Structure 1
């Protein structure tokens, strides 16, 4: 090793020492500056992230409150709508019930002044007139020839038939599911098809036009029947003799 090397180093430091120290200081300053800038960026990034998180939290809270209010409003509106529908249905039901009670009667006025000679029977019964057994799907009401026959309820004349086995007959539609049939009338009826009548309106008089019961022991009579839909029913459900 060169014995003069240490002397050379010492001489170099004496001559260039200032610049070496300055270079080292600059390096230190640069390193410190770089670290400071990095920490500042990290701090700023953290602050921005924290700010974003806070904003997101506030936005979530506002959204949740808005949704809650909207849900409450929707629920309230739904409850109001249900309540309105329920009230409407209740009113409609009451209206329908009142309408039915006004249009459907459970009793008739007597179509003729007389007495019950033969009642309703769905089973065959014996008839002197034909010497046979058959049902009697109505009432045979004994009365004098020419006795006035009246409509049992308000309605509209559906048919005036002049040639049936039960004689001349008038059918009245009461427009509530019920119809009444008046048979064995005198040919000179007082009403016509399509005519509106009220209970008690005279529609004709008792005659001798029946073929089915012309020779029954009880003599002159009105055959009175009731239709519910298309089926004959017992007149006793609606009238008493």
Structure 2
């Protein structure tokens, strides 16, 4: 009986041996493939983890650098702002000191009386036989009377050949200018000179052509310019 069983077993293996070996090989291949896939998955996970850590470290460095640059820019902007405020304050203080040091009220440019007042409407002139405005005061006074700066200022011009005669223009650097005409040619100041209120800048002369033969005779023609327009001197001085 043992012999018979052995023969059957031998015959089975002869017939089915190929398939058994094939099955075993497939099992081995599947096992190897499974292990390989698992190892690859683990390696991929590890590599991805390392990449994520590297990216996080890079982001941290970039954030720290950006914070540093932002802080530096803010500090620089703050310093510039403070410097600008300091300059503005210094300029304000300087302007304040200049304003405080300057006299802002007028004094009479010459002793005398108003012979012809300010008029934007045309008035009759004996000297020319015509009608025209008088954009200032004609102050009747004596020949040779001293003429004073009405307010602190700077000599802008000394004109020696105008219809109103020799004239001096003072810029008071506050939006106002004053004009002194019909002066003697021997003026006391020059262009660019800084003068104080009450400084003698010249004397009354007889150089005008426009009003040389008016009935009131010798006079100083005094005008005020505000911005670019002539203004009534009566707003600034009283006679």
Deviation at 1:12, TM superposition (A): 9.0
Counterpart secondary structure, 2:144: coil
Correspondence for 2:208: 210
Is structure 2 residue 123 aligned with structure 1 residue 130? no
Q: Deviations over 1:75-129 (max 9, x none)?
A: 4344334434433443444445455553787444432233444333333233344
Give me the whole-angstrom Cα distance separating, in 1, the residues matched to 2:82 and 2:116: 51
**Kindly tell me: are residues 146 and 62 of structure 1, through their superposed partners in 2, closer, same or farther at Cα, counting changes over 3 Å?**
same
The RMSD of aligned alpha carbons is 3.8
Counterpart secondary structure, 1:37: helix
Deviation at 1:189, TM superposition (A): 2.5
Correspondence for 1:4: none
Counterpart secondary structure, 2:56: helix
Correspondence for 2:78: 83
Give me the whole-angstrom Cα distance separating, in 2, the residues matched to 1:67 and 1:110: 75
Deviation at 1:205, TM superposition (A): 0.8
Give me the whole-angstrom Cα distance separating, in 2, the residues matched to 1:174 and 1:125: 30
Correspondence for 1:164: 162
Gap runs ≥5 in structure 2: none
Correspondence for 1:10: 7
**Kindly tell me: are residues 50 and 12 of structure 1, through their superposed partners in 2, closer, same or farther at Cα, counting changes over 3 Å?**
closer
Give me the whole-angstrom Cα distance separating, in 1, the residues matched to 2:141 and 2:178: 19
Q: 1:41 aligns with which of 33, 36, 39?
A: 36
Q: Deviations over 1:118-170 (max 9, x none)?
A: 33333323334434321112222233322111233331352240x43212222
Deviation at 1:198, TM superposition (A): 1.5
Gap runs ≥5 in structure 1: 1-6
TM-score by length of 2: 0.71
Q: Deviations over 1:148-207 (max 9, x none)?
A: 11233331352240x43212222345566654321111233233x436242233222112
Is structure 2 residue 216 aligned with structure 1 residue 221? no
Q: Mean Cα displacement is larger for which, 198-207 or 79-88? A: 79-88
1:43-192 superposed matches below 5 A: 43-98=38-93, 102=98, 106-152=104-150, 153-156=152-155, 158-161=157-160, 163-174=161-172, 178-191=176-189
Correspondence for 2:193: 196
Counterpart secondary structure, 1:141: strand
User: What is the aligned residue count?
Assistant: 229
TM-score by length of 1: 0.71
Give me the whole-angstrom Cα distance separating, in 2, the residues matched to 1:208 and 1:167: 8
Deviation at 1:32, TM superposition (A): 4.6
Counterpart secondary structure, 2:224: strand
**Kindly tell me: are residues 195 and 31 of structure 1, through their superposed partners in 2, closer, same or farther at Cα, counting changes over 3 Å?**
closer
Counterpart secondary structure, 1:122: strand
